[in-house]
Amino acid sequence: MEITSNFVDANGVRTHYLEAGEGPPLVLVHGGGAGADSWGNWKDCFAHFAPHFRVIAPDMIGFGKTDKPSPESYVYDQPGRNRHMADFLDAMGLTGVAIVGNSMGGATAIGVALDRPELLSALVLMGSAGLPIPPKPSPNLAATLHYDFTREGMRRVIVGLTAPGYEPQGEMVEYRYQLLEDEAAKAALEAVNAETRKGTLNYDEERLTTITQPVLVVNGKQDGVSILPRAYRFLELLPNSWGYIVPHCGHWAMIEQTEDFCGAVLRFLGKPAA
């Protein structure tokens, strides 16, 4: 399986994405934690999804290899990410795609479903943001909202986002740390975190009830960031939704329990799980 690295102009934003496989499009959207990007979040999932789909994993604006405009001229809020993702799908000539969003990526998938419903056919929300539950950022999220740009700080970020007992490997720590050595990346992350603390990731509950696409809500049982009551509330609000709770798992089901998570997504999308 070959995973290619590519760029496309999404309404003026040079946007990086990874691609592998053939078939109907499946878009994977990473979260917003310190050091997040398409490769770090989804690299282990390509082998599961690419035999069935044309898998496309973009870096959101301000992350990875995608443009990082100065916070002096660009607001790193959720509406901006929604617009960028819709622009990316337009630039790729995609409509009616299945989308998988982790955390902030889930909030972005929701935003596209609300603003441009014709672009999406199905959603998977994994540890998704989008509702103010808990009412304020949890202690597990503190390490990423106040990331200090050190290797030990990155280790704390990973520990906060995973289930108790998860041991981050040095390679993972170093990869995520190096992504934030660039000054533009640092400024973008600080701007993202400032907006996150304002609560701009959240949607009006009444609007969520208007999403008609089928939705799979996935949550780690030990997720201390997107806690189980948030997943249950999504299930109450989204009319065509199913739930899948992953045991022994924190906020990163695609990393902590890759086979279980990918199998659930494949079954939801009507494909055989390995």
228-245 b/e with 16+ CB inside 10 Å = b? Answer: eebbebbeebbeebeebb
Inter-residue contact 246 to 156 (CB < 8 Å): no
CB 168 within 8 A of CB 155: yes
Residue 71 near residue 191, CB atoms below 8 Å: yes
Using CA atoms, how far residue 249 sits from 130, 141, 254, in Å, is 20, 16, 10
Catalytic residue among 103, 128, 226, 241: 103
Residue with tokens 């499009």: 25
43: Cβ contacts below 8 Å, ≥ 6 apart: 3
Tokens 């290899």 identify what position?
A: 65
- Answer yes or no: 59 catalytic: no
Of the candidates 65, 57, 64, which has an alpha carbon nearest to the alpha carbon of residue 85? 57
How far apart CA 204 and CA 153 sit, in angstroms, is 33
Burial of 78 (0-12, 13-18, 19+ CB in 10 A): buried
Strands 25-29 and 54-58: parallel
Q: Choosing from 16, 30, 52, 251, which is the catalytic residue?
A: 251
30 given a catalytic annotation: no
Active site residue 115: no
Report DSSP state, residue 44. T
Catalytic residue, from 223, 226, 241, 260: name it: 223
| Residues designated catalytic | 103, 223, 251
